[in-house]
């Protein structure tokens, strides 16, 4: 089963579908319009209405998580072996995982005991990319196919999502696929303020200008070297390596 957050007509999901459908039974369910940044949000104030675009291609007037939830419970005509979310336009790494509808959709599969993969294609310049700033969706699709075909070799807990980020290189140029962890983009820029001719203020959310140096095994550093990053992530948010002082402080309440 395929989903995304860029919408049913986005190039990424259609390239991925065209490659996978040659060898696999594929069902696509995705938002009818772009829902980037939707995270793990759900729709509760209006009904979800399926719109069949073509056979096994359904658009939903909701979020990426809505699509996965509805697809797995009601609309997918078969029990899928794996959920693929993407291919996202642009990388999903570090703190941005909290905002990503691509990642949110993938993690929704945790209740259904099937592996889930979020796959994103970087849209910034990579080594040997000759200045290209567009994602290479075909490369990302071929990496996704490689992963799907080798999934039977390992059992992955359905609570875990594989967050895959692919550089914008040709498939033949990629020589490393690495196990990574989420790095950091650093602090966000303040909102950018504009004042309209009528005197009303409006604000734009922007990204970051100052990115800190990331350790070698982080997703950001791995992708910047032109290598594929695979980070196992989950929805539980628990950090086990808290320090002793925090433990003692919490115990002081008792």
Closest CA to 106 of 39, 13, 18: 39
Which of the four pLDDT bands, split at 50, 70 and 90, describes residue 124? low
List domains and CATH numbers for the chain.
2-184+213-251 (3.40.1210.10)
Burial class (CB in 10 A: 0-12, 13-18, 19+), 63: buried
Q: How far apart are CA 94 and CA 185, in angstroms?
A: 6
Q: Which tens digit of pLDDT belongs to each residue from 39-95?
A: 999 999 999 999 999 999 999 999 999 999 999 999 999 999 999 999 999 999 999
Q: Calculate the dihedral angle through the C-alpha atoms of 120, 126, 129, 132, rounding to the nearest 10 degrees.
A: 70
3-class state of residue 220 by DSSP: helix
Strands, E, within the chain: which ranges?
2-3, 28-31, 50-54, 57-60, 83-89, 116-121, 161-166, 177-179, 192-195, 201-204, 228-233
The structure's pTM equals 0.90
Closest CA to 103 of 183, 155, 171, 35: 35
Q: Which tens digit of pLDDT belongs to each residue from 83-105?
A: 999 999 999 999 999 999 999 99
Q: How far apart are CA 67 and CA 82, in angstroms?
A: 15
73: DSSP letter: I
Q: How far apart are CA 136 and CA 146, in angstroms?
A: 16
Q: Which tens digit of pLDDT belongs to each residue from 182-204?
A: 998 888 888 888 888 888 888 88
């Amino acid at each position: 089963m395929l989903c995304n957050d860029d919408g049913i007509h986005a190039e990424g999901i259609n390239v991925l579908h065209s490659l996978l459908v040659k060898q696999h039974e594929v069902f696509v369910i995705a938002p009818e319009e772009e829902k980037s940044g939707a995270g793990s949000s759900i729709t509760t104030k209006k009904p979800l209405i399926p719109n069949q675009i073509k056979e096994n291609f359904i658009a939903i007037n909701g979020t990426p998580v809505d699509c996965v939830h509805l697809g797995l419970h009601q609309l997918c005509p078969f029990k899928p072996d794996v959920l693929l979310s993407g291919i996202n336009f642009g990388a999903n790494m570090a703190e941005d995982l909290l905002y990503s509808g691509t990642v949110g959709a993938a993690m929704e599969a945790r209740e259904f005991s099937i592996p889930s993969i979020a796959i994103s294609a970087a849209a910034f310049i990579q080594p040997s990319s000759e200045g290209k700033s567009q994602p290479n969706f075909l490369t990302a699709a071929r990496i996704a196919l490689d992963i799907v075909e080798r999934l039977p070799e390992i059992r992955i807990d359905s609570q875990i999502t594989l967050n895959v980020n692919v550089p914008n290189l040709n498939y033949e140029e990629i020589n490393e696929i690495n196990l990574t962890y989420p790095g950091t983009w650093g602090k966000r820029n303040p909102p950018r303020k504009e004042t309209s001719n009528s005197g009303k203020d409006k604000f734009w959310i922007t990204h970051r200008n100052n990115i800190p140096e990331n350790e070698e095994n982080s997703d950001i550093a791995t992708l910047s070297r032109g290598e594929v990053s695979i980070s196992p992530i989950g929805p539980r948010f628990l950090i086990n390596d808290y320090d002793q002082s925090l433990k003692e402080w919490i115990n002081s309440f008792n």
